[in-house]
Homo-oligomer: A and B are copies of this chain.
């Protein structure tokens, strides 16, 4: 019973500062993050040199803490349901150069150094390697994407040998 009560408090006590006033959250000096009902927060990761968006992932409280403390990017993998250090398998660790939080503190932006590496499990530098054409849609079933990266930075079959593809239908 005691363990149950302790677990309850541990689960519902946020590690970071409690959110008490909207003004404080938006204009204040304290980190008071808001995670969603699954305990996650979206994070956008950009290349600190080029500014391009490399990937968009999620962090839970633990991933946020580990990223701050180690200055390397940790995410929560929704497909594997586990804490995940980016680059642990591929070697393409992301060094955090700047870490921002938004106005209502429910979204993160990390500017990272990946050297000459890549951030996409498909093998491209950025996960956003395809562009959506703009303008009137004739047939929504036939919107053709345009490849903006033509050459992969690594061979995913070699790097992620034997691992399950995180992409779901």
Check B140–A16 contact: CB distance below 8 A. yes
Q: A22-B167, A30-B142, A107-B127 are in contact. List 18 more A-B contacts (CB 8 A).
A: A15-B140, A16-B141, A17-B140, A17-B143, A22-B165, A30-B143, A30-B144, A34-B168, A42-B42, A46-B46, A46-B53, A55-B102, A68-B134, A68-B143, A99-B134, A100-B128, A100-B130, A103-B167
* 17 pairs from A and B in contact (CB 8 Å cutoff): A15-B140, A19-B169, A20-B169, A22-B165, A22-B167, A25-B167, A26-B167, A30-B143, A30-B144, A31-B145, A46-B51, A56-B102, A68-B133, A69-B137, A100-B132, A103-B121, A104-B167
